[in-house]
Amino acid sequence: MMEIRKCKNKKCQRTLPEGYKNRYCENCRNDHVEKLKNAGKVLLTCVGIVGSTAIAIATKGKINIKK
C-alpha cells in the first residue's frame, strides 16, 4: 500500500519519502536534534548544579567536591 505521509511538524508539512521511518522530515529532525542537544546541555548544567548542591547539603559540607 502506498501511503503519502507528511512531516508531523505543522509548520513544515513536507512529504516524507516512501519507506521513511520517521514522523518528521530530515530537516525537522536536524532542527530537533540541535534543540535536544542544547536542552541537554542546559539540563545537564542544571542537574550538575542542583546535584552538587544537594550532595553538599546531604553531607553538610563534610565532603568537598570542588573548590
Name the minimum Å distance from CB 1 to Zn ion.
23
Residues that bind Zn ion (CB under 5 A): 7, 9, 12, 14, 25, 28
Question: Residue 6 or 56: which CB sits closer to Zn ion?
Answer: 6
Q: Supply 48's cell numbers.
A: 550538575
Name the minimum Å distance from CB 34 to Zn ion.
14
Question: Residue 9 or 56: which CB sits closer to Zn ion?
Answer: 9
